[in-house]
């Protein structure tokens, strides 16, 4: 048995527990908690049963299991970056709206400066 077959399931359990506590404290949504839990379960399963990745790879037409895992990680990373981009874009638009509203409320005219 390989060392990663012992380490990754332990890390997965710790991560799942950590996300569960964050959900209970209200810091994570249920969707985030479920998605991360599924991710860490898949990590644990692939580390305990490495040949399983070969079977999944053949289902989608990829020759090696490691290639399947790398492609899967790239898809997850791309989704995460895209989601973060949309969040930052929305925050930037919200910030611009707030700044415009504050600027309009605190408008300084030329008459105010002369006094």
Predicted TM-score (pTM) of the model is 0.69
Distances (CA, A) of 41 to 9, 11, 18, 58: 8, 10, 14, 21
Instruction: Read off the pLDDT of residues 48-84 as tens digits, 9 standing for 90 and up.
Output: 888 888 998 999 899 888 898 899 889 989 998 999 9
For 11, 37, 83, the CA distances from 26, given in Å and listed in that order, are 22, 16, 21
Of the two residues 5 and 95, the one the predictor is more confident about is 95
Query: pLDDT tens-digit profile of 77-105?
Result: 999 899 999 999 999 999 999 999 888 88
Angle formed at CA 21 by CA 39 and CA 79, multiple of 5 degrees = 30
| pLDDT of 1 strictly over 80 | no
pLDDT at residue 91 in the model: 97
pLDDT score, position 104? 85
């Amino acid at each position: 048995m390989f060392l990663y077959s012992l380490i990754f399931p332990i890390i997965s359990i710790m991560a799942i527990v950590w996300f569960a506590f964050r959900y209970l404290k209200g810091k994570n949504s249920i969707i985030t908690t479920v998605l991360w839990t599924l991710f860490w379960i898949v990590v644990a399963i692939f580390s305990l049963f490495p040949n399983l990745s070969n079977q999944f790879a053949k289902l989608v037409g990829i020759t090696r299991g490691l290639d399947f895992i790398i492609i899967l990680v790239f898809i997850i990373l791309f989704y995460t970056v895209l989601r973060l981009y949309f969040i930052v874009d929305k925050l930037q638009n919200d910030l611009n709206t707030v700044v415009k509203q504050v600027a309009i409320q605190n408008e300084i005219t030329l008459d105010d400066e002369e006094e």
